[in-house]
Copies of this chain bind each other. A is one copy, B any other.
């Protein structure tokens, strides 16, 4: 038996998300089917670090699995890429300690959210960015962003119906980057954990700040006194990428 750590990139378009659920193909189920022939006799115990939602993409999802030790991680990577659809690629494979679990062992995750502002989105980007036609005022958005670093109660920014008890999370870094012509705005956020829909809810609220619907201080106020009714709409999933997982 060998525990491997796999790094996965995937285009989440058309998938129901990382986790198995009724009514569609999950990334996890497809990866499990591909890795099945190489599973250890003790069972696969496949675990993904981030449970990305339907339509969310990954550049560096981390996955742990127990496999047969007759195959090297490099050979396993090759075999999996031959078996997986092109929308899912194994970009790295390495041996991990026998107790390694991709979700429990993660110390931080980085998410990026891509926005294209302006009259249109190029056809090549339409599946990977949220189109916001109306111009964004970036200065108050940056100011709002600065309030994110630190440990806060993110209860206002979780999915409706979520019943997680502890809604405090620590954000190590949050920033907005803009490309030279001003059309591509990227929100990047690194933290010790994220509530369901948290990044998308933060982005929806930031966009409302950029449109003047909320003042720059609104985000900080919601962290100080959570109020789910006062956040912006949840941004659509297709702009979101799980960029990397730290251990």
- Indicate if the CB atoms of A81 and B119 lie closer than 8 Å: yes
- Indicate if the CB atoms of B57 and A119 lie closer than 8 Å: no
Cα distance A86–B90 in the bound complex, in angstroms: 29
Copies in the complex: 2
Cα distance A57–B89 in the bound complex, in angstroms: 24
- Indicate if the CB atoms of A124 and B81 lie closer than 8 Å: no
Contact flags (1/0) for A75-99 with B, using CB distance below 8 Å?
A: 0011001000011111100000000
Pick the contact of A89: B81, B86, B123 (CB < 8 A).
B123
In the complex, chain B residues whose CB is within 8 Å of the CB of A77:
119
A68 sits at the interface (CB 8 A): no
Pick the contact of A91: B78, B87, B120 (CB < 8 A).
B120
A10 sits at the interface (CB 8 A): yes
Per CB-CB distance, the 6 closest pairs between chain A and chain B, nearest first, are: A11-B123, A86-B126, A87-B123, A89-B120, A81-B120, A9-B122
Seen from chain A, the residues whose Cβ lies within 8 Å of a Cβ on chain B are: 9-11, 57, 59, 77-78, 81, 86-91, 119-124, 126, 128
